[in-house]
Chain A
Amino acid sequence: DAGVTQSPTHLIKTRGQHVTLRCSPISGHKSVSWYQQVLGQGPQFIFQYYEKEERGRGNFPDRFSARQFPNYSSELNVNALLLGDSALYLCASSLGGAMDTQYFGPGTRLTVL
């Protein structure tokens, strides 16, 4: 079975640009969560989507947005990039229950210059 896949693997952008990151969950999983992991720190929760509806939002500015598609894949969008947005962006999928195991993808490494 394929795990969680994310694209692209790496991305370099400049300040002020916009970026779209993509995630495909494990087959049968209906929930996708996004996390930001800054080097040397633990993942920080950005969004959770379940059945295409936003279920939770972390403490991130409105420049961050996401959506989930009918096939349960998801996109994370970040506008007006700042240097501080440089991080590993992780996507995790789960069946959807509050305590269901989250399975993480390998992440997208975003560098903002």
Chain B
Amino acid sequence: QQQVKQSPQSLIVQKGGISIINCAYENTAFDYFPWYQQFPGKGPALLIAIRPDVSEKKEGRFTISFNKSAKQFSLHIMDSQPGDSATYFCAANFNKFYFGSGTKLNVKP
């Protein structure tokens, strides 16, 4: 049973556009929700993370929106750039990390 469900599987966005990736979870014990960025041939790198007592967190062009009642959280990438083209994973933590299945983002120049 997948603990964290991520969508879409792939996403194409024009340069300057907004990229939105969504995740949903069932376990209300999760208490930490990070997003990771992974380039081909590299390990995932932490992008931004949020705790459930906060509804939104912004770092530069990256924003996490968190809806505790709906058990959903999303990553927004503003002013998307070709360099943002990568695979993005959401994750949730309770004693261990559970990762979503990933979203392959392609930002067209």
Partner-B contacts on A (CB < 8 A): 4, 33, 35, 40-45, 48, 56, 58, 90, 92, 98-99, 101-107
Are the CB atoms of B31 and A99 closer together than 8 Å?
yes
Q: What's the minimum C-beta distance from B99 to chain A, rounded to whole angstroms?
A: 3
Chain B residues touching A, range: 20 to 34
CB-based contact A42/B99 at 8 Å: yes
Binding site secondary structure of chain B: strand
**Which residues of the partner chain B approach A104 to less than 8 Å between Cβ atoms?**
36, 43-45
- The one of A58, A98, A106 that contacts B93, using a Cβ cutoff of 8 Å: A98
Closest to B94 in A: A98
Interface 1/0s, chain B 50-80, versus A by CB < 8 A?
Answer: 0100000000000000000000000000000
Measured CB to CB, the closest approach of chain B to A109, in angstroms, equals 9
Beyond A92-B43, A99-B51, A107-B43, 14 extra complex contacts between A and B, CB < 8 Å:
A42-B89, A42-B100, A42-B101, A45-B96, A45-B98, A48-B96, A56-B96, A58-B96, A98-B32, A98-B95, A101-B34, A101-B49, A106-B42, A106-B43
CA distance A90 to B89 in the complex (A): 14
